Amino acid sequence: MPHTIPLVLHPKVFQYPRYTRQPDGAKNLWPRSMVKDELEEKNVNIVESESPMLIVDDMIMVTGTVDRTTEFEKGMPNALMEKDGEIVQDPIIDDQAVVLKLNNKGLVVISGCAHAGIVNTVLFSQKATGENNIHAVLGGFHLSGPFFEKIHDNTIQELKTLTPDVIMPMHCTGWKAVQRFQKEFPDSFVLNSVGSKMILS
């Protein structure tokens, strides 16, 4: 790039190696997606923060570490990492969301994969901004697969109490969960696919 570009990252994004444990106990190594030296060589100014951080003239917040407060959102049970020479559970603490506030409407919460849980992510966004109204929740909700199907009911119930005007589940939410959201949020659910555009104003 011709000029330096800032990139806001959670410091734990550089954690490596990381694995996914298979049902038979085998471990699959995750690709190493973030290497600090390589980014710096490409003229990237790395900004590491575990705390909420404002960007774009203070109009957008990057959450940093999302507090995990709900009883039912337990992260990804088969995610592992190496720590001090041992294989331990990986809480994927580096997963973040971006949040902005629309005047007179409330927060727009855009999750990454919501490894902290989509409800935890929205609750933390409220806490960090001091804004209770939720206008839109979109992004990956990470509700795909047998383990996460067990928490569909809890997730839907809690999101109903937050009364979002728009709910747009994407990628890692999973088809079964998407169908549930469509049924349970008939007035706010928005179906999307590659190339979909959502205009919120």
CATH number at residue 80: 3.60.15.10
Q: Once rounded to an integer, what is the mean pLDDT over residues 101-122? A: 96
- Asked if residue 190 belongs to a domain, the reply is no
* Residue 2 pLDDT > 80: no
Considering its fold, how many domains does the chain have in total? 1
Q: Once rounded to an integer, what is the mean pLDDT over residues 191-196? A: 90
Over pLDDT 70: what percentage of the chain? Answer: 100
List the single range of 5-9, 109-113, 135-139, 151-155 with lowest mean pLDDT. 5-9
| pLDDT at residue 66 in the model | 98
- Asked if residue 19 belongs to a domain, the reply is yes
- The tokens for 179 are 């169908």
| pLDDT at residue 5 in the model | 83
**What range does the domain containing 126 cover?**
5-184
- Asked if residue 122 belongs to a domain, the reply is yes
- Asked if residue 97 belongs to a domain, the reply is yes
- Asked if residue 139 belongs to a domain, the reply is yes
Q: Once rounded to an integer, what is the mean pLDDT over residues 111-140? A: 97
- Asked if residue 192 belongs to a domain, the reply is no
- Asked if residue 172 belongs to a domain, the reply is yes
- Asked if residue 79 belongs to a domain, the reply is yes
The three-state (H, E, C) secondary structure of the chain, written as one string: CCCCEEEEECHHHHCCCEEEECCCCCEEECCCCCCHHHHHHCCEEEEECCCCEEECCCCEEECCCCCCCCCCCCCCCCEEEEECCEEEECCCCCCCEEEEEECCCEEEEEECCCCCCHHHHHHHHHHHHCCCCEEEEEEECCCCCHHHHCCHHHHHHHHHHHCCCEEEEEHHHCHHHHHHHHHHCCCCECCCCCCCCCCCC
Half-sphere exposure of 160 (CA within 13 A, CB side): 13
Cis amide prior to 23 (ω within 30 degrees): no
Q: Once rounded to an integer, what is the mean pLDDT over residues 45-53? A: 95
* Cα(133)–Cα(131) distance, integer angstroms: 6
Average pLDDT of the chain is 94
Over pLDDT 90: what percentage of the chain? Answer: 80
Of the candidates 165, 80, 67, 167, the residue with the CA atom closest to the CA atom of residue 117: 67
| pLDDT at residue 1 in the model | 66
Instruction: Tell the residue number behind the tokens 């337990």, with chain if given.
Output: 74
| pLDDT at residue 163 in the model | 96
| pLDDT at residue 41 in the model | 87
* Residue 133 pLDDT > 90: yes
